[in-house]
Structure 1
Amino acid sequence: MNSKIGTTQAAMLIVNTILPTATVVLPAIISNYAEQDAPLAILLSTFFGLLIAYIVGSAVRCTNGAPFLTWVGEKSSPAIAAVLGLFMLQFYLDTSTTILREFVNFLKDNVLINTPISILCVLILLITIYMVRQGLEAIARVNSLVILLYLLFAPLYIFGLTDEMNVHQLLPMFDHSLAELTLASITPTTWMSEVAVLLFLAPYLQSPQKARIIGWTGLIFVAMLMMFSLIIALMVFGPDLIRLSAYPGFSAASIVHLGRFIEKLDILFISYWVLSIYVKFSIFLFATVECFKQTFRVGSSRPFIGTLGLLIVLECLYTWQSTEKLNLYNKEGRFLVFFLFNVLVPLGAVGLDRFRKAKTKRKGWGA
């Protein structure tokens, strides 16, 4: 049973919709372009992200919490809604696949080195399917607890690295051109556009008219946490080492120590990240299932969750076998795809709503 979730719960869902994979993938990409000016790229991408959240929130307000593809079918035609639904279903399947692959790659590289990838994929998927079957409200409750744990880990992270941080690693500032900062901001803007998942969470919001506030609040917290993680990694390692590290945030966590009696706390931070990525994967699997449900107009999607999960696992195993190809897609290919579905689709929905309202007004004047 899917109960309605509140505005605060929805905003916290947006945080973990973006943050877990962003903190793993983005530091190396941003530092490659902006080096010690990477925080400025985060600020620039946050500005663009807030604009995207405004567009997505406006689209949700137009639907007033109705299922998105059903609303599109009513405003245009069922055929257009079906075609759009098929494309969006493919998009969400692909996005869920890349999330699963990034999850598996991290575990394979850092924790479960000798465990076969197929076993990891199946176990992760089974746990996530169970979470999705409990409904969005249950996912939101778990996510709230995960977010609150930041209050424990953030001070521990800072205090444990106090002796390792060097503020001079952030200098000189403003050393890169606007063009370089723009290039550095493209990929984080892509991640922030994932706020568009609100299109499929809208039917479960208590206040869909507050979708803009939900998106803005979530993105501001994401920006703050990304800035926090990136600045600390820069002060510990410097821009040159960050570019060479696959997971700079966790490399910094690996040297956290409290005095001389507590050290090697990286497994604690990794465990927390695993909790976060489970929440993110469950949100996107939930959105995928909702997209399937609306596209094919089925009353209940529960019988199809396993099938959709199997498609995700197969694509994960056979499409993204190469880590280099996945990294290249994240760096160069993701922006175009995400811009199309996370920006142009909700923008088109807003345009469609205004067109219909204008047409209705003209008919009223004509009468």
Structure 2
Amino acid sequence: MNGKIGTTQAVLLVVNTILPTATVVLPIIISTYTEQDAPLAIILSTLAGLLIAWIVGTVIQNSNGAPFLDWVGEKSSPVVSVILGLLMLQFYLDTTATILREFVNFLKDNVLINTPITVLVILILFITIYMVRQGIEAIARVNSLVILLYLFFVPLYLLGLYSDLNVHHLLPMFDHSLAEITLASLTPTAWMSEVAVLLFLAPYLQYPQRAKIIGWTGLLFVAILMMLILITALMVFGPEFIKLSAYPGFATISILRVGRFIEKLDILFISYWVLSIYLKFAIFLFVTVECFKQTFRVSSSRPFIGALGLIIALECLFSWQSSAKLNNYNQEGRFVVFFLFNVLVPLGAVLLNRLHKARSKRKGLET
């Protein structure tokens, strides 16, 4: 059952839509370009993300929470709606497959080293399909509980690292040009643009007119946590180590200790990250299914969840076999694709709505 989700639940969904993979992928990409000035790239990408959230929120407010593709069809034509739906369905299938691959790669590299990737993909997919079949309201409730655990993990994280923090690793500041900082901010901007999932969550928002506030609040929360992770990693290891580490955030966690009697807390944090990434994967699988439902005008998407999951699994296994290619896509190709579908599509919807209003006014004056 897909009931309505409240504003706070929607904010927390936005947070977990972005944060789990961002904490794994972004630190090394940002630090490669800007080293100790990496926090400046987070600030710049957050500003861009807030603008994207404004565009997405404007679309949802204009449609009053109506299904996105149905609303586009009303403002233009059913043919345009179907074509756009097919393109966005391909986009969400690809994006969900890369999320699954990042999840599997991390588990394979750090936890379940000897487990075949195919087995990991099947297990993750079965669990996530079950989650999606319960509906977005159930996902939102579980997601809220997982996010609340930050109240426990963040203080523990800071307390455990306190003796290892060295502020001198952040110096000298402002040592990189604006061009380098802008280049470093492109990839995190792509992650911030994932706030556009609200376009397909809009029919389930209890208060769709608050969509802008939902997007802004979620992105600010993500920015704060990303800044925390990035700055602490820099202060512990310095910028040179981060550029060489595959997972600098988790390398930082590996040295956590509280006093002389609590140490090796990395497995606790990894377990929490696994919970978060499960929810991110579930959110994107739900959005993919919702895009399919709106594109093909089916009354119930439940019979198609397994088939879409199978397509995602096959793409995960055969399109992203090389971790190097996936990393290269994250660093160079993701921004272009995400900008097209997460920024230009909602921006085009805003312009389409204004054009439709202008035509309606013109017809009213003529009559």
Q: Is the pair's TM-score, using the shorter chain for normalization, greater than 0.5?
A: yes
Matches within 5 A, 1:116-195: 116-195=116-195
> C-alpha displacement at 1:191, in angstroms?
0.2
CA distance in 2, matches of 1:162, 1:207: 41
- Where 2:241 maps in the other structure, the secondary structure is helix
- Where 2:331 maps in the other structure, the secondary structure is helix
Deviations 1:95-148 (A, max 9, x none): 000000000000000000000000000100111001100000100000101110
Q: Match for residue 101 of structure 2?
A: 101
Whether 2:56 is the aligned partner of 1:47: answer no
Q: Match for residue 362 of structure 1?
A: 362
Counterpart residue type for residue 188 of structure 2 = P
Q: Match for residue 221 of structure 2?
A: 221
CA distance in 2, matches of 1:260, 1:71: 60
CA distance in 1, matches of 2:117, 2:299: 34
Counterpart residue type for residue 325 of structure 1 = K
Q: Match for residue 308 of structure 1?
A: 308
Deviations 1:216-262 (A, max 9, x none): 00000000000000000000010000000011111011110111111
Counterpart residue type for residue 119 of structure 1 = V
Q: Match for residue 68 of structure 1?
A: 68
* Structure 2 unpaired stretches of 5+: none
Q: Match for residue 25 of structure 1?
A: 25
Whether 2:36 is the aligned partner of 1:36: answer yes
CA distance in 1, matches of 2:213, 2:243: 35
Q: Match for residue 297 of structure 2?
A: 297
Quote the sequence identity (%).
Answer: 77
CA distance in 2, matches of 1:2, 1:76: 28
Deviations 1:319-367 (A, max 9, x none): 0000000000000000110000000000011111111111111111112
* Structure 1 unpaired stretches of 5+: none
CA distance in 1, matches of 2:164, 2:198: 40
Counterpart residue type for residue 187 of structure 1 = T
> C-alpha displacement at 1:295, in angstroms?
0.5
Matches within 5 A, 1:201-216: 201-216=201-216
Counterpart residue type for residue 68 of structure 1 = F
CA distance in 1, matches of 2:78, 2:358: 21
Counterpart residue type for residue 256 of structure 2 = V
Q: Which range is displaced more, 257-266 or 311-320?
A: 257-266
> C-alpha displacement at 1:163, in angstroms?
1.1
> C-alpha displacement at 1:73, in angstroms?
1.0
Counterpart residue type for residue 165 of structure 1 = L
Q: Match for residue 264 of structure 2?
A: 264
Whether 2:148 is the aligned partner of 1:114: answer no
CA distance in 1, matches of 2:251, 2:165: 13
- Where 2:313 maps in the other structure, the secondary structure is helix
> C-alpha displacement at 1:75, in angstroms?
1.2
CA distance in 2, matches of 1:230, 1:215: 22
> C-alpha displacement at 1:93, in angstroms?
0.2
CA distance in 1, matches of 2:183, 2:194: 19
Q: How many residues align?
A: 367
> C-alpha displacement at 1:57, in angstroms?
0.5
After the TM superposition, which parts of structure 1 deviate over 3 Å for at least 4 consecutive aligned residues? none
State the Cα RMSD in Å. Answer: 0.5
Matches within 5 A, 1:77-88: 77-88=77-88
Whether 2:326 is the aligned partner of 1:326: answer yes
CA distance in 1, matches of 2:83, 2:159: 53
CA distance in 1, matches of 2:340, 2:37: 28
CA distance in 1, matches of 2:71, 2:51: 23
Counterpart residue type for residue 40 of structure 1 = L
CA distance in 2, matches of 1:7, 1:354: 27
- Where 2:341 maps in the other structure, the secondary structure is helix
CA distance in 1, matches of 2:308, 2:363: 44
